[in-house]
Amino acid sequence: MAHELHLEVGRSLTPSDLHAIALLAERVAEIDGERPFSDRFARELMDPNPNGFLHVCVWDADELVGYAIVDDAAKGAAATAEIAVDERGRDARVGALLLDQAARETGEPVLLWAHGSDSATARLAAGGGFTKVRGLWRMKRTLGKDVAAFTAPDGIKIRPFERHRDEADWLELNARAFVDLPDQGQLTRADLDDLLEQDWVDLDGFLLAHEVDGSGREGRLVGFHWTKTHPAQGPRQPRIGEVYVLGVDPDAHGRGLGKALTLAGLAHLWQQGIREVILYVEDTNQAAIATYERLGFTRYDTDVLYRASSA
């Protein structure tokens, strides 16, 4: 590279930093065909001071060539990072520099998310002695008229989420359904309120399943399916839908609620004109994978969480 690299570390970002990060993320997405940041971190980067996370920036003169966002706030949990490095930064091993600095700041090697099996981050992990900690399958299917009509199972009522009515019940169920996945299961009321304010949220596609008695009166919440729609990226990349989060009360497993809620969400997306749907599922969740495969989903890529071998 033509200039000497300059590294900056901090707990806050300026508006010009955020602009530079956005431009870097666009360049990386164009190179790799993958967004470098998950929805969670991308959402944090819309805030001028993203939760006090650790930020590591590598500059080449006045151009940002590498950036890492590190969540080290959870007590007793390893710090987790996501990185973006452009083509020039890869030539200078900026990815390794970012992770080394993050490790020095946190006092231990960080966990690293790689989005896409052929992304630069995945190649960095493969060549740097990292081991896999967690995998998320990406699955997809096209939608046809087979999902256009849906009827809820007997004894179950499926309706849209209602603000100022359903928050507490949903948070309790979400915690029970994702007790082993703290990044989802530990969402707070503030987290939920923030999510509900996102531009993509369509409450008609945030579906709740309640038990009902003979008179149709609602009982306990036993499941939910929160759908998401991604905007079109041009005429060749129309809008796509997503099974954003699907959860079932552990006490209600075995009743076919996962399948029913998935179909209810697909029917909603079909009605919105969506013709392709994606989802993410833990590669260890064989029951969920089997359900999705029976519903026509197939795997097309994998996101992997890595740990340095010395961690």
pLDDT of residue 2: 52
Strand order in the sheet with 63-71: 5-10, 54-60, 63-71, 80-85, 111-115, 298-308, 130-142, 276-282, 240-248, 218-230, 206-212, 156-160
Q: Could you confirm whether domain 139-301 is CATH 3.20.10.10?
A: no
**Domain residue ranges of the chain, discontinuous segments joined by +:** 5-128, 139-301
Residue segments in the chain with a per-residue pLDDT below the cut of 70: 1-3, 47-51, 74-76, 233-236, 309-311
Q: Which fold has domain 5-128?
A: Aminopeptidase (3.40.630)
pLDDT of residue 77: 74
Answer whether 5-128 and 139-301 agree in fold. Answer: yes
Sign of the dihedral through C-alpha 238, 297, 248, 72: negative
Question: Could you give the angle at the alpha carbon of 256 between the alpha carbons of 254 and 257, nearest 5°?
Answer: 105
pLDDT of residue 310: 58
pLDDT of residue 250: 94
pLDDT of residue 48: 57
pLDDT of residue 311: 46
Q: Could you tell me if residue 19 is left (phi over 0), alpha (psi between -120 and 50 degrees) or otherwise beta?
A: alpha
pLDDT tens-place string over residues 148-177: 878 888 899 999 999 999 999 999 999 999
pLDDT of residue 49: 60
pLDDT of residue 1: 47
